[in-house]
């Protein structure tokens, strides 16, 4: 489990996160929802140890983030980090050289899943296909937790649907996934847990399935209630 406990972060005099706490479990998709600039990426960076926090702590399977944590967790940013001149199979080679947890078999399976070809050059791909390659490279690592920053942002509905399908496939297996987004509509059905963030503060954390079953409400219904008050 990833436990974010009461973290606070300021950039200079600007307070970006205030007492943020939530948990994300294996086998669940946790979605951090909030409009642009509320601090979603900062939370992911803090979990990855890419940004320091002013207070609070973050535990991964009960331990503070350390070198070994990186064998358990990966971060998929919202833009592809591979050189645009690379072909997809060059990116596979790079990942294989760089990460012990690289799973070539799963990478090939994901390639077929997303209907991509290994010889395609990254710079020649459409925005949606670049997003798929980005996701593929992260998901082909054998790690327990996957953090994704806005995986659906700015791509067309067909690519969004194809990307959404991967979340219900065996390729996610029993991993813990944290997704950030500012638009929930197309992925509402995938999400197990919701964390609503506004101006660096958590307004509400809830189990989407429970709210659906016990109160007959969708995530959007709950968001309307919370943001109206």
Ligand X SMILES: Nc1ncnc2c1ncn2[C@@H]1O[C@H](COP(=O)(O)OP(=O)(O)OP(=O)(O)O)[C@@H](O)[C@H]1O
Task: Tell me which stretch binds ligand X (CB under 6 A): 38-46, 86-94, 139-147, 157-165.
Answer: 38-46
Compute the distance between CA of residue 175 and CA of residue 143 in angstroms, rounded to an integer: 8
Interhelix angle 88-98/127-139, nearest 10 degrees: 30
| Shortest CB 6 distance to ligand X, Å | 17
200 CB-near residues (< 8 Å, 6+ apart): 9, 15, 16, 17, 18, 20, 38, 39
Report whether 6 contacts 55 (CB < 8 A).
Answer: yes
According to the binding rule CB under 6 A, does residue 53 interact with ligand X?
no
**Residue 40 binds ligand X, judged by CB under 6 A:** yes
Candidates 36, 66, 81, 100; binder of ligand X (CB under 6 A) is 36
Please give the order of strands across the beta sheet that includes 14-24: 14-24, 2-11, 55-60, 63-64
Nearer to ligand X, 39 or 140 (CB): 39
| 87 vs 182 by CB, closer to ligand X | 182
Judged by CB under 6 A, the chain residues 5 through 24 that form the site for ligand X are 11, 16
How far is residue 194 from each of residues 44, 60, 80, 91, 206, measured CA to CA in Å?
A: 15, 19, 26, 33, 5
Q: Both tokens of residue 110?
A: 């994901």
Q: Which is nearer to ligand X, 103 or 199 (CB)?
A: 199
Check binding of 37 to ligand X (CB under 6 A).
yes
**Least spacing, CB of residue 34 vs ligand X, in Å:** 5
Q: Which of the ranges 39-47, 59-67, 157-165, 206-214 carries the binding residues for ligand X, by CB under 6 A?
A: 39-47
H-type helices in 156-207, by residue range? 157-167
Closer CB to ligand X, 111 or 194, in the complex: 194
Count the site residues for ligand X by CB under 6 A.
11
Q: Are 31 and 187 in contact (CB under 8 A)?
A: yes
Binding string, residues 175-204; x marks residues near ligand X by CB under 6 A: -------x----------------------
Return the sign of the alpha-carbon dihedral for residues 212, 214, 217, 220. Answer: negative
Contact 31, 181 (CB under 8 A): yes
Nearer to ligand X, 77 or 87 (CB): 77
Site string for ligand X, 120-149 (x = CB under 6 A): ------------------------------
């Amino acid at each position: 489990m990833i436990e974010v406990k009461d973290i606070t972060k300021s950039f200079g005099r600007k307070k970006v996160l205030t007492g943020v706490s939530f948990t994300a479990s294996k086998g669940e998709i946790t979605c951090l929802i909030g409009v642009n600039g509320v601090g979603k990426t900062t939370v992911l960076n803090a979990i990855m140890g890419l940004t320091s926090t002013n207070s609070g702590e973050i535990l991964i399977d009960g331990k503070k983030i350390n070198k070994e944590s990186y064998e358990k967790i990966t971060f998929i940013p919202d833009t592809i980090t591979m050189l645009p001149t690379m072909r997809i199979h060059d990116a596979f080679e790079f990942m294989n050289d760089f990460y012990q947890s690289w799973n070539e078999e799963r990478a090939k399976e994901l390639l077929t899943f997303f209907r991509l070809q290994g010889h395609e050059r990254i710079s020649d791909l459409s925005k949606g296909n670049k997003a798929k390659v980005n996701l593929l490279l992260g998901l082909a690592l054998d790690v327990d937790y996957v953090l994704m920053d806005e995986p659906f942002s700015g791509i067309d509905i067909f690519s969004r649907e194809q990307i959404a399908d991967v979340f219900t496939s065996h390729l996610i297996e029993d991993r813990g996934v944290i997704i950030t987004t500012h638009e929930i509509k197309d992925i509402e059905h995938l999400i197990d847990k919701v964390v609503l963030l506004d101006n660096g503060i958590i307004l509400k954390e809830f189990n989407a399935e429970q709210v659906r079953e016990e109160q007959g409400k969708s995530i959007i219904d709950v968001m309307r209630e919370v943001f109206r008050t």
